[in-house]
């Protein structure tokens, strides 16, 4: 009896802590670029979908002429837009575009980036995809990754010695695939790292520890849909 009561209580606590997802909902976000470091965060061309009521729809967009953080990132025009609606199905879609990207003094360059995601749910099947997400003439550490407008396999990681690493076409799915689905795509996600500690003494050597010191995300789009 005590066990049953304990389980009942635990179940109640778990239910209370579980996130509550509205029965029908859509969300979306897109931005051109984000730079986060010790000196703060910059985010340009941000668009966040406002709350959408059942049987309604909405859109948000952002744009910027350029971004320049010397030694870190320069780009030309950036745009983001996100839209969503709830009708027979719930649907959300987001798009981010960036022109002439140059990261870390030419370590990563691209003529243009396009991040496109969409999510739909009809209550019985929920899907998301990143169709249309491409990199224009992407070069990483001197190595051409795309020629013209091309795709990169999801979650492609490339180490950047002395800098950290970059994940190309980073994709983060969410949802159960039945009622809800979501997807975030970050076309270029640079994780900046530095080696701290470590060294050798008479007693032996200790390895250093890689510490994340910042990140750069260029071309980010996300969407979720639940019904």
Partner 1 sequence: MFRQINLGLAPCLVAATLFAWGCDRPATPAGPKPSFSDGTGSCAAGARFTGGGRIDPPVAGKTTFGFHVDARDWCSSTGPINGQVQTVNHPTKTLIHSLTIDDFVSIEDPDFGRCAFFRGTARVKEGNGSWVQEPFGAVACEKDEPGSSPGLGPDRYGISLPDEHRETGVTELTGGNIQAH
**Residue ranges that bind partner 1, judged by CB under 8 A:** 55-59, 61, 63, 76-77, 79, 81-89, 91, 93-95, 97, 99, 112, 114, 116, 118, 120, 122, 127, 129-133, 136, 149
What phi and psi values does residue 112 have, to the nearest 5 degrees?
Answer: -165, 155
3-state secondary structure of 186: strand
CB of 30 vs partner 1, minimal distance in Å: 8
Task: Indicate the residue among 164 and 175 with the shorter CB distance to partner 1.
Answer: 175
Task: Indicate the residue among 58 and 145 with the shorter CB distance to partner 1.
Answer: 58
CB of 53 vs partner 1, minimal distance in Å: 12
Task: Identify any residues that bridge with 78 across adjacent strands, giving them in sequence order.
Answer: 64, 98
CB of 59 vs partner 1, minimal distance in Å: 4
Phi-psi region of 4 (alpha: psi -120 to 50; beta: other; left: phi over 0): alpha
> In this structure, what is the dihedral angle of CA atoms 24, 183, 43, 68, given to the nearest 10 degrees?
-150
Task: Indicate the residue among 87 and 144 with the shorter CB distance to partner 1.
Answer: 87
What phi and psi values does residue 185 have, to the nearest 5 degrees?
Answer: -120, 125
Task: Indicate the residue among 27 and 81 with the shorter CB distance to partner 1.
Answer: 81
Reported as type and span, the H/E element at residue 13 is helix 2-17
Task: Indicate the residue among 72 and 116 with the shorter CB distance to partner 1.
Answer: 116
Choose among 34, 27, 47, 39: nearest CA to 101. Answer: 34
Task: Indicate the residue among 61 and 215 with the shorter CB distance to partner 1.
Answer: 61
Q: Which two tokens stand for residue 109?
A: 């360059």
What phi and psi values does residue 168 have, to the nearest 5 degrees?
Answer: -100, 140
Any residues with CB less than 8 A from the CB of 144 and at least 6 apart, and which?
137, 138
CB of 176 vs partner 1, minimal distance in Å: 17
Residue 153: other Cβ atoms inside 10 A: 8
CB of 148 vs partner 1, minimal distance in Å: 10
CB of 200 vs partner 1, minimal distance in Å: 53
């Amino acid at each position: 009896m005590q066990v049953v009561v304990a389980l009942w209580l635990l179940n109640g606590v778990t239910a209370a802590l579980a996130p509550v997802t509205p029965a029908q909902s859509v969300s979306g976000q897109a931005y051109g670029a984000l730079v986060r470091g010790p000196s703060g965060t910059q985010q340009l061309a941000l668009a966040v979908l406002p709350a959408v009521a059942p049987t309604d729809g909405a859109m948000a967009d952002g744009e910027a002429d350029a971004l320049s953080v010397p030694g870190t990132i320069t780009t030309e025009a950036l745009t983001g837009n996100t839209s969503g609606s709830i009708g027979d199905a719930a649907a959300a879609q987001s798009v981010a575009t960036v022109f002439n990207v140059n990261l870390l003094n030419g370590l990563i360059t691209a003529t243009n980036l396009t991040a496109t995601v969409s999510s739909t749910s009809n209550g019985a099947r929920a899907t998301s995809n990143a169709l249309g997400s491409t990199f224009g003439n992407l070069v990483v550490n001197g190595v051409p990754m795309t020629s013209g407008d091309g795709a990169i396999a999801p979650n492609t990681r490339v180490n950047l010695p002395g800098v950290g690493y970059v994940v190309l076409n980073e994709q983060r799915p969410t949802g159960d695939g039945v009622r809800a689905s979501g997807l975030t795509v970050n076309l270029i996600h640079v994780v900046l790292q530095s080696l701290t500690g470590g060294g050798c003494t008479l007693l032996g050597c200790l390895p250093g520890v890689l510490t994340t010191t910042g990140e750069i995300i260029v071309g980010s789009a996300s969407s979720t849909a639940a019904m």
